[in-house]
Amino acid sequence: MASTPSITITRLDLQRLEQLLDDLDDFGPTAEALQAELDRAEVVGHDQIPAGVVTMNSRVHCREEGSGKDYHLTLVYPQDAGGEGKVSILAPVGAALLGLSVGQYIDWPAPGGKELKLTLLAVEYQPEAAGEYAR
């Protein structure tokens, strides 16, 4: 990833994601990328996270700048991935979205080695902002 914007995550997400990584049988490149994101993140309490920051189970609206295509994605744990728009935290784009704030962008590796620029336009739903901390 060429750009690494500052990110903020909740203490609860950090604990759950570290446990997820500890439980993995195959610690591949995406798991390494997620660990690097966790290592550099600012960690705050679940009641201190701004509403415009991507946390686990957040639904986001983003745009791929090259094509102008919009995406509505929900960042989920691996066992919840697979439905329409549900992106696993262990997918490259999932690990890159975690902790982003509205207006920030990531370079998203696409098939064939091409990099796409994905800008976060909105956090449409964030569990913490909705008072739902158990997810």
Q: What is the pLDDT of residues 2-18, one digit of tens each?
A: 457 788 999 999 999 99
User: Residue 112: which residues within 8 A CB-CB, separation 6 or more?
Assistant: none
**Rounded to whole angstroms, how far apart are CA atoms 63 and 70?**
4
Closest CA to 37 of 5, 61, 62, 12: 5
- Residue 33 resides in a domain: yes
- Residue 118 resides in a domain: yes
CATH number at residue 78: 3.10.50.30
Domain count, the chain: 1
What are the DSSP calls for 45-71, one per residue? -TTTS-TTB--TT-EEEEEETTT--EE
pTM of the predicted model, to two decimals? 0.89
- Residue 73 resides in a domain: yes
Is the pLDDT at 131 greater than 50? The verdict is: yes
- Residue 69 resides in a domain: yes
- Residue 109 resides in a domain: yes
Is the pLDDT at 38 greater than 60? The verdict is: yes
**Rounded to whole angstroms, how far apart are CA atoms 120 and 127?**
17
Q: What is the pLDDT of residues 56-98, one digit of tens each?
A: 999 999 999 989 999 999 999 999 998 889 999 998 889 889 9
